[in-house]
């Protein structure tokens, strides 16, 4: 498992579906450089069970992300055509119709591999002279907060059965943006309106003395 925090987010160009219906052949996060923060998240598969709850939950919070100037982008190992089919299936039939943010297709599994969230790995079976795959050929539930310079500032990876907190993703955006704007660091459980502190021994002591 890779730790990408503090490093440039791995580059990719891949097929995607945007606005719930439009195919894009070479989608890239580079379009957001210098303009937006990005929440880039992986989910295992289309037409599954936990995944639509997360994907729809992100859509339900899009106003919150947009007012923070944050782009939300999802990715799985499905094809763009499968994404399109799921995006155009009604929710009462297990679909995610109404989701508008981009869903990236990672059929080759290279994006998930480069981000360190592929739930298995390729190996070579010398005895049978063939390549094999050990584990699940899907992505863990990885989430990456990427700043305007393309650097990963936060990541979290859940196992396949464990859905994520969208509110926590928003809190991390708030913390990063607060730090970028004010230079103060955010202590445990910080949220907008709470006191932050300076990254010095005196600052920590002063903060702890009040709490």
Q: What are the tens digits of pLDDT across the range 24-65?
A: 999 999 999 999 999 999 999 999 989 899 999 999 999 999
Kindly report, residue by residue over 139-161, the tens digit of the pLDDT.
Answer: 999 999 999 999 999 999 999 99
- Kind plus residue range of the DSSP H or E element containing 54: helix 50-60
Catalytic residues: 51
Give the three-class secondary structure for 2.
Answer: coil
pTM of the model: 0.93
Pair of tokens at residue 144: 């990456």
d(CA 53, CA 51): 5
Kindly report, residue by residue over 105-121, the tens digit of the pLDDT.
Answer: 999 999 999 999 999 88
Query: How deeply is 45 buried, as exposed, middle or buried, from its count of CB atoms within 10 A (0-12, 13-18, 19+)?
Result: middle
- For the cut 70, the answer to whether the pLDDT of residue 207 exceeds it is no
Would you say 82 and 89 are in contact if contact means Cβ atoms under 8 Å apart?
no
Give me the domains of the chain, ranges plus CATH numbers.
14-162 (3.40.30.10), 165-211 (no CATH)
């Amino acid at each position: 498992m890779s730790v990408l925090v503090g490093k440039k987010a791995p580059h990719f160009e891949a097929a995607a579906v945007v606005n719930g219906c439009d195919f894009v052949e070479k989608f890239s996060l580079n379009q957001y450089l210098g303009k937006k923060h990005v929440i880039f998240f992986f989910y295992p598969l289309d037409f599954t069970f936990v995944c639509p709850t997360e994907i729809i939950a992100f859509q339900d919070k899009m106003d919150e992300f947009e007012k923070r100037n944050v782009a939300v982008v999802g990715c799985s190992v499905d094809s763009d055509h499968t994404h399109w089919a799921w995006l155009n299936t009604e929710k009462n039939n297990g679909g995610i119709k109404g989701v508008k943010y981009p869903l990236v297709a990672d059929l080759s599994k290279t994006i998930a591999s480069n981000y360190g969230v592929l739930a298995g790995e390729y190996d070579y079976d010398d005895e049978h002279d063939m390549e094999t795959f050990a584990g699940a050929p899907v992505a863990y539930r990885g989430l990456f907060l990427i700043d305007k310079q393309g650097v990963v500032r936060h990541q979290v990876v859940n196992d396949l059965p464990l859905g994520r907190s969208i509110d926590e993703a928003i809190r991390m955006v708030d913390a990063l943006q607060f730090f970028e704007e004010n230079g103060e660091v955010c202590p445990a459980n910080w949220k907008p309106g709470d006191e932050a502190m300076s990254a010095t021994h005196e600052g920590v002591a002063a903060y702890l003395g009040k709490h």
